[in-house]
Amino acid sequence: MVENKHSHNHPHDYEHDHDHDQIHGSGIIGWIKHQFTPHSHGHQEAALDAALATDRGMWALKVSFSGLMVTAIFQVVVVTISGSVALLADTIHNFSDALTAIPLGLAFWLSRRVSNKRYTYGYGRAEDIAGVIIVLMIAYSAFEAIRHAIERIINPEPISSLGWVAAAAITGFIGNEMVAVFRIRIGTQIGSAALVADGYHARTDGFTSLAVLAGAIGVWLGFPLLDPIIGVLIGIAIMVIVFNTARDMWYRIMDAVDPSITERIVEAANSVEGVHDTHATAVRWVGHRQRAELHIVVDCQISTLTSHRIAEKVRHAIFHEFPAMVDVIVHVDPCECDPEEVYHITADHMHKDDA
């Protein structure tokens, strides 16, 4: 069994970036496709040192937190002046989005700590726990948005300063979209599911701000109930975000990965000369880093040193295929060429799980 740590440095894959640009196209249409298409390749597996990845995550949080707080504070002032419940719902959500930086920042800070006898895998899982906290905060903001909107439908109040409401809505859209682009880009570079989810959260916030603008236009046209109705719709939109984000965090907590990742690990292992077969492959994300383990089958007649070298070549191939991979454990099994030999004396203790 081989357990050495991964310490390779990998150059940036410029050729892949070129292919990426070709896929998404150029111009405004290409930009729109690029912004709304989740990216699970390329940058998500960027060859980053763990400490550097954490630093970039913290930097992204600080910058985006500042941007969202400025946007939300401006909206609070306009809510006070205008009394728009739709803008209030959007403002609550923007504050909630900004505050998600706190648990995520704490998680990034914890992930820098080295593993020890109690936390043998380190503290990377704190990032996934932060993702759960983010889901709960988003759900609370949805509840508050819907509650305020229903109250305003039951007890309508006049809305004033529609020009300021429109300005705040436009500001909310621009601020959230800039934060979304920034968080998604950095999150995919360092492989942080929580930061990427927070980025898409901010993007949807931007479009709820445009919904506020639609509500203000409705009031200006003589339909005052459109403002609280828009507030309810914003709350429902936030609940959709809750579902999607909760699903993504469930995958991380349950160690679920894209099946293509497992297939690529098997292909990388089988491409190594001397490997007859590969089985019992498992891979997981721990925070924004990957860990994997697998069994390979080699010729039973070769020496221990030779089989060890084959296992090391397998690890090397996997590290180059997945630059975010922090460790790979390879168990070497001999080929079962002798029908009278007992090869697996621990077989009765093994679970019959599919790999």
Q: What is the pLDDT along the chain (355 residues), one digit of tens a residue?
A: 444 444 444 433 333 343 444 434 455 445 444 444 444 433 334 434 455 566 777 788 888 788 778 888 888 888 888 877 767 777 776 777 777 777 778 888 887 788 899 998 888 888 888 888 878 877 877 787 787 778 777 877 666 777 888 888 888 888 888 888 888 888 887 777 778 877 877 777 777 777 777 777 877 888 877 777 877 887 787 788 778 778 888 888 888 988 999 999 999 999 999 999 999 999 998 877 889 999 999 999 899 999 999 999 999 999 999 888 889 999 999 997 777 776 677 777 766 554 4
Q: How far apart are CA 308 and CA 302, in angstroms?
A: 10
As its CATH architecture, domain 259-349 has: 2-Layer Sandwich (3.30)
Q: How many residues does the chain have?
A: 355
> Do residues 160 and 82 lie in contact, with contact meaning Cβ atoms separated by under 8 Å?
yes
Q: 221-240 burial, b for 16+ CB within 10 Å, e for fewer?
A: eeebebbbbbbbbbbebbbe
3 state DSSP class of 29:
helix
Structure tokens at 226: 């459109």
Amino acid at 76: V
Phi, psi of 153 (to 5 degrees): -65, -40
What 8-state DSSP symbol labels residue 123? S
Q: What is the CATH number of domain 38-253?
A: 1.20.1510.10
The domain spans of the chain are 38-253, 259-349
pLDDT recorded at residue 9: 45
Please tell me the number of Cα atoms within 13 Å of 267 on its side-chain side. Answer: 9
Please enumerate in sequence order all residues whose Cβ is within 8 A of that of 125, keeping only pairs 6 or more positions apart, or say none.
Answer: 286, 287
Query: Are the beta carbons of 127 and 183 closer than 8 angstroms?
Result: no
Residue type at 305? L
Of 181, 187, 224, give the one whose Cα is nearest residue 203.
181
Alpha helices in 83-155 (DSSP H): 85-99, 101-111, 126-154
pLDDT of 78: 84
Structure tokens at 169: 């809505």
